[in-house]
Amino acid sequence: MPPVIDGERCSPCGICVDVCPEDVFFDSTPGEIPIVAYPDECYHCSACVMDCPTDAIALYIPLSMRL
């Protein structure tokens, strides 16, 4: 499952856009809440979750990847 951004908690700083190694947030406008443009490209590295200063990103790792 791709990252889910809580729009109320997000301060559109763009850190998640910068740290994503797979460019999942491609073409997000600076100063606005990031858009998950390529959800299928997310390989659940949790870089966006760990670096988000407001804890606005949730990442649900599929069961098959947890085992």
pLDDT reported for residue 62: 76
For residue 14, what are the domain limits?
Answer: 1-67
pLDDT reported for residue 60: 86
**What CA–CA distances, in Å, run from 11 to 1, 40, 64?**
22, 24, 32
Number of domains in the chain: 1
pLDDT reported for residue 51: 96
Per-residue tens of pLDDT for the chain, all 67 residues: 789 999 999 999 999 999 999 999 999 999 999 999 999 999 889 999 999 999 999 998 778 777 7
Looking up residue 46, the CATH number of its domain turns out to be: 3.30.70.20
Burial class (CB in 10 A: 0-12, 13-18, 19+), 20: buried
Cα(56)–Cα(67) distance, rounded to whole angstroms? 26
pLDDT reported for residue 16: 96
pLDDT reported for residue 58: 95
